[in-house]
Amino acid sequence: MSEKSTVVVVRRVKKVHGGGHHGGSWKVAYADFVTAMMAFFMVMWLVGATTNKERAAISEYFKNPSPLVGKSFSPAPGPMGPGGASTSMIKLGGTMEVPRGDGEDPFGKKDAQNDNGQQSPLEKAAAQAEERAQDKQRLEELMQALEEAISKSQALEPFKDQLLLDISPEGLRIQIVDKQNRPMFDLGSSKLKPYTGDILHELAGFINRVPNRISLTGHTDLTAYARPGYSNWELSADRANAARRALVEGGMQEDKVTRVVGLSSSVLFDKQNPQNPINRRISIVVMTKAAEAMALNDSGMVLGAPVADVDTSALAPGVAAPANAAVSAAASAATPAPTASRVAALHSAPAAIPTHAPAASPSAGASSGHD
């Protein structure tokens, strides 16, 4: 009997990958990702290792890397020659040096100033911004207190339509205006009416609440004054000085006065009606620190028209404004600046204007416009 032979068949199946061979390109993408993560964590470490001032300095450097006008832009010579690598590093965490290059780097000057106890430009700007914010807050609080006092005070409430308050670029402006049949001064005179003195005495206490200085400005209408040798310029200056004396009598510190100015009819409240009684007014400005510095500047810049005394014709002519009405100040360019010959009185101390203004009686030709 024959044996059957067994045939073994082996099938070899070749496996083929659908995507094919990728090579090492994934390594490049992975390396980019790792590099980006390293840079991210490096930035996070730098943020945590530096102070606010250092971060501000670094940020300012990248915004304006060459702030020196007229200086050479060639790189400072390093150990490897001009343009070579520098061994100095940005100061981080108090362990590295700020790059000084050839000694003209602005950050080197900044550090030198700090070492001498002086403020850097960034610190000065921050201090000025903080001072302006404090000024604004003080003046707004004072304005609010005055508005409340006017509405509640028995001495001020009857005259609330003659007291105008607003915030101007120069500070808080308090205007006391004339009203028909209720003027602030005697006819053609710098003598205060009794109720005008009461108003100023009340205001003196509020002005003392803030450290800011004040300026006083007198205004008249366009009616000419007929007394020889005594014009509206002298009259407006004498009235402003009379208001200063009344404030001091009411308890205001005398050294708070920065200037007393008479502007005659050069800055009318109601330009459409120059004879309107509202044009006859006294402006008291509680000045900002910047305005104080301008007024006390010896360069003579104070001879320009006071910013706070620009045209206020935003109010309807002949309509009395409520006490809390905010009068929009016009641009300073809208009001011509009075020259030195037009300014009747200007001083940085009360002695600059006579402390006893003449109570001038109008002559036969004097107009009743100065009531």
Burial of 187 (0-12, 13-18, 19+ CB in 10 A): middle
Number of helices and strands in the chain (H, E): 7, 7
Average pLDDT over residues 136-165: 81
Average confidence score pLDDT of the chain: 69
pLDDT tens-digit series, residues 296-347: 774 444 433 444 444 444 443 343 343 333 333 333 333 333 433 333 333 3
pLDDT tens-digit series, residues 55-71: 888 877 777 755 444 44
Tell which CATH architecture fits domain 135-370: 2-Layer Sandwich (3.30)
Per domain, the residue ranges of the chain are: 35-71+85-118, 135-370
Give the pLDDT of residue 277: 83
Residue 124 phi, psi (nearest 5): -65, -45
Residue pair 334/271 in contact by the 8 Å Cβ criterion: no
Where residue 290 falls among pLDDT bands split at 50, 70, 90? confident
Please report the beta strands in the chain, taking only residues with DSSP state E, as ranges in sequence order. 77-78, 81-82, 163-168, 171-177, 214-219, 257-262, 281-287
Give the 3-state secondary structure of residue 191: coil
Give the pLDDT of residue 86: 46
pLDDT tens-digit series, residues 200-231: 998 888 888 888 889 999 998 888 777 778 88
What tokens appear for 29 in the block? 């993408």
Integer Rg of the chain from CA = 37
